[in-house]
């Protein structure tokens, strides 16, 4: 998978938990579905999704980005990802209706957050009108 694009991971958190997220510190998260929006326009492109899946499965213990800490949490499960070739990371993150987790995944932009407690429908709505597909994991 070498194509490039913007993606939103769908993550189920099975129980309320507090996750230590590097320099961001402890983040308290309620049991819910979360949507994390990122981009993959570098050399590896959307192979980044494979890396996220390896972190979520426990096959990769490296924590580099904020999302790695959540995906590496025992109570989280990676359910799927919406993907578009559009360079629209911040636009999609802002368009998803839901409760933001302050500063999560947004240390390199001016967005309030790139992680929201949201429904799958809210994510689908944010991708409406874009050439997008849903990819499943596992």
Q: Is residue 1's pLDDT more than 90?
A: no
Cβ atoms of 25 and 67 within 8 Å: the answer is no
Q: Is residue 138's pLDDT more than 90?
A: no
Q: Is 42 helix (H, G, I), strand (E, B) or coil?
A: coil
pLDDT digits (tens, 9 = 90+) for 83-115: 999 999 999 999 999 999 999 999 889 999 999
Q: How many domains does the chain have?
A: 1
pLDDT digits (tens, 9 = 90+) for 11-29: 999 999 999 999 899 999 9
Cβ atoms of 48 and 40 within 8 Å: the answer is yes
Return the structure tokens found at 112.
Answer: 């309030």
What residue numbers bound the domain in which 16 lies? 5-136
**pTM of the predicted model as reported, rounded to 2 decimal places:** 0.95
Distance in angstroms (rounded) separating the CA atoms of residues 120 and 107: 24
Q: Is residue 68's pLDDT more than 80?
A: yes
Cβ atoms of 97 and 14 within 8 Å: the answer is no
For strands 5-13 and 32-40, give the pairing.
antiparallel
Q: Residue 34's closest CA among 104, 89, 85?
A: 104
């Amino acid at each position: 998978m070498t194509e490039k694009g913007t993606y939103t991971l769908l993550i189920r958190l099975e129980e309320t938990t507090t996750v230590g997220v590097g320099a961001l510190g402890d983040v308290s998260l309620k049991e819910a579905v979360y949507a994390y929006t990122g981009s993959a326009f570098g050399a590896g492109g959307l192979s980044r999704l494979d890396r996220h899946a390896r972190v979520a499965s426990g096959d990769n213990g490296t924590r580099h980005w904020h999302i790695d800490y959540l995906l590496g949490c025992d109570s989280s499960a990676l359910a799927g990802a919406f993907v578009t070739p559009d360079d629209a990371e911040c636009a999609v993150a802002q368009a998803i209706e839901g409760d933001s987790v302050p500063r999560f995944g947004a240390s390199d932009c001016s967005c309030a957050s790139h992680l929201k407690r949201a429904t799958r429908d809210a994510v689908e709505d944010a991708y409406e009108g874009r050439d997008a597909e849903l990819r499943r994991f596992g």
